[in-house]
Amino acid sequence: MNTAAALELTAAEHGWTTRTAFHEGDSAITHGEVHELAAKAARVLAEHGVEPGRRVLIALPDGIAWVVAFLATARLGAVAVLVNPRLTADRHRYIAEDSAVSLVVADAEFAALLPDHPRIGGAELLRSAATRLPAPSAPVDGDHPLYLQYTSGTTGLPKGVVHRHADLARYHTGAGAQILEIGPDDVIHSVSKLFFAYGLGNSLAFPLWSGARAVLEPGPPKPARIAAIAAGHRVSYLFAVPSAYANLVAETDPAAFATVRAAVSAGERLTGELRERATAFLGAPVYDQLGSTEAGHAITTNGPGHHVPGTIGRPVPGFAVELRDRDGRPVPDGTPGELWIKGPTVTTGYHNLPRETARNLVDGWLNTHDRVVRTADGDLVHEGRTDDLEMVGGVTFSPVEVEQVLARHPAVHDVAVACLPDERGASKLRAFVVPARTGPVPANLEPELVALARAHLEPYKVPRGVAVVDSLPRTATGKLQRFAVRQGTW
């Protein structure tokens, strides 16, 4: 069934139509209003030539217009192309050309980036929709393409991941309802934006399928603003990446988060030290989980019913996982392996990339390229990416272990470790450190970090140099771009 029509029907059947669905600044819209407005906005999109199967690029900040544009596109049976408005012009052009978009929904300042594509602004879409009659929903089934979401580009050019109409409901019924226990009384705020896999599930699928409400923030995720949202809207469920939690702990008052009953961390590795600090700061559990763009949302997660700190939990209902070695053979519990997953929301493939699809999808199993260990109790421990491994002196290891040790130093705010060639061309392990914002950088930071590493790590894992930098190359989702770190400049 068309997911926009299914959501509208679900809201009516459960009596949610008069309940608030979304907040944006001082504005609010109910579940009934957002579906009615989306049906009218679909009429506007149709007047701009949008038909079933056509591509609509949505390049808006988080807000009611974003939600309406997405649901209107879905209602027509068209395919939404989700992009970060702050991508570079080259990336926008690449995605628009790769996905063959027929209409861009973006604000005026975006027009110069894609001058050859028809465009309608978010505010204009909402104004025009107010005077239209609702458009009927296209009769598509659950396997019909719903949206294209591009990978974050940690290893090169983004790849378009295809997801279907049935997937949104599964994000909620899998992780949202059964594991996280999100219900109609929850108030959700996701620091990760709607155009990311993590944010789309948190801010759109969860509230619309549960009758809850979500607070959308169009601006950057500054700690003070997150705190104001949490306090002002009495947020009960907070979703963020580890770096955001670190900033909240350092820069905000824990009293602002008094109503938070649980928090979720994903998007990058959550260290034990940060998890403990964030848990104490929030006064609520922080559930670590693992997801991927290819799976649409969470693959494994902790939750109220089963929470083992230091793990990424267990597979989301409906998913099967296997840990395999580089030759594709299963590995026993306690042995690191590549995580392969199979489940109802795993993509059918990358858009226009059959070789990449064949390499990563084998008989319905997706290789996530995550390095994971399964405990005897069935919980999963994340040890980094299999394609993030470094080699020193013929020994291959994950730099995450080194980074975790260096991150213990109080003067370190962020750190990345990679092998770079020295002046002789020999590969040497180097650490790039973003110093803490409080106080001057200690003059003896480098020897202290080297000594810290020597005290806790094997000799070959000790960095041979430390560089202090202003920032690390991270994607908009917070993931470290190791290919850039390995170049030594960004």
Query: Checking DSSP bridges between strand 262-265 and strand 286-291, what pairing results, if any?
Result: parallel
What pLDDT, in 10s, does the model give residues 112-146? 889 989 999 999 999 999 999 999 999 999 999 99
The last residue of a domain, from among 337, 353, 387: 387
What pLDDT, in 10s, does the model give residues 248-257? 998 999 999 9
Q: What's the average model confidence in pLDDT over 345-374?
A: 92
Residue 20 lies in a domain: yes
Residue 490 lies in a domain: no
The last residue of a domain, from among 135, 164, 193: 164
Least confident of 74-78, 211-215, 256-260, 368-372: 368-372
Residue 411 lies in a domain: yes
Task: Please spell the DSSP secondary structure of 435-455, one letter per residue.
Answer: EPSSSPPPTTHHHHHHHHHHH
Q: How confident is the model at residue 426 (pLDDT cuts 50, 70, 90)?
A: low
Residue 53 lies in a domain: yes
The CA distances from residue 36 to 249, 305, 386, 398, in Å, are: 40, 36, 46, 50
What pLDDT was estimated at residue 156? 61
CATH of the domain at 264: 3.40.50.12780
**One domain, residues 231 and 139:** no
Q: Which residue range is the domain that position 59 belongs to?
A: 1-164
Is the Cα torsion angle 440, 444, 446, 449 positive or negative in sign?
negative
What pLDDT was estimated at residue 393? 61
What pLDDT was estimated at residue 360? 87
CATH of the domain at 137: 3.40.50.980
Least confident of 5-14, 179-188, 255-264, 452-461: 452-461
**One domain, residues 105 and 24:** yes
**One domain, residues 231 and 330:** yes
What pLDDT, in 10s, does the model give residues 382-416? 988 787 778 776 566 789 889 999 999 999 999 99
pLDDT(14) > 80 = yes
Structural domain count, the chain: 3
Report the candidate in 282, 177, 182 with the shortest Cα–Cα distance to residue 240. 282
